[in-house]
Structure 1
Amino acid sequence: MRHGLGTDRRFNLHRITKILKQSDADIIGLNEVDKSFSKRSHFIDQASWIAEQLQMEYVFAPAISIRSRKVERREYGNALLSRFPILKSEAHIVRLRPFLCEPRSIIEASIQMNHRHVKALVTHFSLHPLLRKVQMNKVLELSSKELPTFLMGDFNCRPFSRDYNKIAHYYNNSCNKRIQKELRTFPSRKPKMQLDYIFVNDKIEVIYSDVITTFREASDHLPITSLVKIKNNFSTTL
């Protein structure tokens, strides 16, 4: 969501929230979220604010956390929102030492859906090749074969690229075989490629997926939405 900065160079959280509400999604993964970060986002705790507007539970995982005199911490990272109870969550930070590039975070959460526990992972893949490799390994380490699992975010790779194929070895792309095409998400005004995905494991069936095109001015990426079916015939939208 690029901390609320649209392609028209206007900061506007209200239009982002409006589009998320219209999507009627039960579980939402967000990248590039600010928490009291700077003047660019008016020092707002964005994940908390959006969750309150949508009346959803949330988890925030900072990739960057800086001590500050004005606020306790200036933070930037990923967020997960859910209409269902979030039973537990953990923020995993992936970084290179010495500091070579921006660290990344991975949200690992357990969500209760009608007496079923599912796992949700949200991340934003780095463009730095070394950090990207470490991040990929961590995501696959956190993945579950026993629980229905979603993996969501900006992966900064095209379908059938090398990194995409590594993920696809463990997960199914929610843009299933019936779609037969790349769901282009970037850049939002005239999308030319797909960088953003919802992946699911074999315990989840994808009914359909699409791109939310009304997001064109709200951010530089278009979001993916999927209707999926858990093994017990319970459906939900991401």
Structure 2
Amino acid sequence: MKKTIRYTIFACFALFLLVMAFYLWAFQANLPSEQHVLLRGNRVSVVQVDTAALNDSVFRIMTYNLGYLSGLTNNQPVQPAKTLFDTHLKKASDLLQQKNLDIIAFQEIDYGSDRSYNMDQEELLAKAGTFPYVARAVNWDKRYVPFPYWPPTVHFGRIVSGQSLLSKYPIMDQKVDTLSKVQSAPFFYNHFYLERLAQVCRVAFQGQELIVINVHLEAFDRDTRAIHSAQVLAIYRHYAAKYPTVLLGDFNSSPDEVDATIAPFLEAADMQAVALGGDRLMYSYDSADPSARLDYIFYNDKLRLLAGEVITDAGTISDHLPVMASFRLAD
């Protein structure tokens, strides 16, 4: 009996050590920290870029939560076939070309993850859309992510993902601010959870500095998202006081929610929203049957809005629809 107890204790201890070893291995990063924030230029031959268009005083900008090209399967306990990702990549590439974009801000874009068959989606879309300048901010870099929780066969595995800004105008600099963690979550949850970022890029446009702030706020915890909203507003105001500034991304809050965390942005006197005004509420989520507006473009009075819309013809490349706007500098 005593021997059985000893064997049981030893087996439990060995299992504990095995689980801890796997845990410590799994939440380690795949990349060195200096590769989490990258700024690269001339990734596409400059002869491919329409240089005459770059002299235009109008720029076209889009925000798109790409959902790593997984369509409506995003975060669902399934493993889509590679053909789905290939098809969605082609559709996304065609969309970028059709819309004749100058700048696009992506959220949930993969740089080599098991869940999306190790595509570098940033690299592929930069080439397809002829964007010479790219700023990357990795917000999720783990060797193994045990989500969706069940069954284990659909766990994400290796994850390298984040936020990207692609531009036909030079990106002179980027600064990445890490927003608050979910304080109510247990430590192991936060170890495997993505970072929420504000990616601030300085873009050279018409002899001026254009500030583009790309964000992806907390989705599941309302109190944390409210903290993120306050942090992002402070970042925006720091730059908007001096520069033409665009704040865009996935804010994970709809105006028609009770106590919506997007309200401080919509009520602010020093910014305006694109394609959102009066009784006209254009939804961006989910892409199959939109019933919430989570994705926004805001701007300050140093810019003039020429047009803005939610791009419904993007279809179900992602579970989000993109938002697009055209601006010129204010007189």
Post-superposition shift, 1:205? 1.7
Aligned partner (choices 49, 60, 75) of residue 160 of structure 2: 75
Between the aligned partners of 1:102 and 1:95, the Cα distance in structure 2 is 11
Q: Which runs of 5+ in 1 are unaligned?
A: 233-238
Between the aligned partners of 1:76 and 1:94, the Cα distance in structure 2 is 16
Question: Is the contact between residue 148 and residue 203 of structure 1 (CA under 8 Å) also seen in structure 2?
Answer: yes
TM-score, length-scaled by structure 2:
0.63
Q: Which runs of 5+ in 2 are unaligned?
A: 1-65, 74-79, 145-157
1:171 counterpart residue number: 271
Q: What SS does the corresponding residue of 2:229 show, helix, strand or coil?
A: helix
Post-superposition shift, 1:66? 2.2
Kindly indicate which of the two structures has a greater share of residues assigned to strand: 1
Q: What SS does the corresponding residue of 1:21 show, helix, strand or coil?
A: helix
Q: What SS does the corresponding residue of 1:141 show, helix, strand or coil?
A: helix
Post-superposition shift, 1:180? 4.5
Q: What SS does the corresponding residue of 1:123 show, helix, strand or coil?
A: strand
Question: Is the contact between residue 78 and residue 106 of structure 1 (CA under 8 Å) also seen in structure 2?
Answer: no
* Per-residue CA distance 1:142-192 (angstroms, 9 max, x = gap): 212210111111111112654222123142101265x75011111111212
Spell out structure 1 runs of 4+ moving beyond 3 A: 97-102
Post-superposition shift, 1:36? 1.3
Question: Is the contact between residue 276 and residue 282 of structure 2 (CA under 8 Å) also seen in structure 1?
Answer: no
Greater shift, 148-157 or 133-142, is seen at 133-142
Kindly indicate which of the two structures has a greater share of residues assigned to helix: 2
TM-score, length-scaled by structure 1:
0.86
Decide whether aligned partners of structure 1 residues 49 and 91 sit closer, same or farther in structure 2, where only a CA change above 3 A counts.
farther
For residues 100-115 of structure 1, what are the structure 2 equivalents within 5 Å? 100=190, 101-115=193-207
Post-superposition shift, 1:33? 0.7
Question: Is the contact between residue 253 and residue 294 of structure 2 (CA under 8 Å) also seen in structure 1?
Answer: yes
Larger radius of gyration: 2
1:235 counterpart residue number: none
Letter in 2 for 1:155: F
Question: Is the contact between residue 77 and residue 104 of structure 1 (CA under 8 Å) also seen in structure 2?
Answer: no
Higher relative contact order (CA 8 A, sep 6+): 2
For residues 9-88 of structure 1, what are the structure 2 equivalents within 5 Å? 10-11=84-85, 12-38=88-114, 40-56=115-131, 57-66=133-142, 74-88=159-173
Q: CA RMSD in A?
A: 2.2
1:129 counterpart residue number: 222
Between the aligned partners of 1:123 and 1:2, the Cα distance in structure 2 is 14
Q: What SS does the corresponding residue of 1:49 show, helix, strand or coil?
A: helix
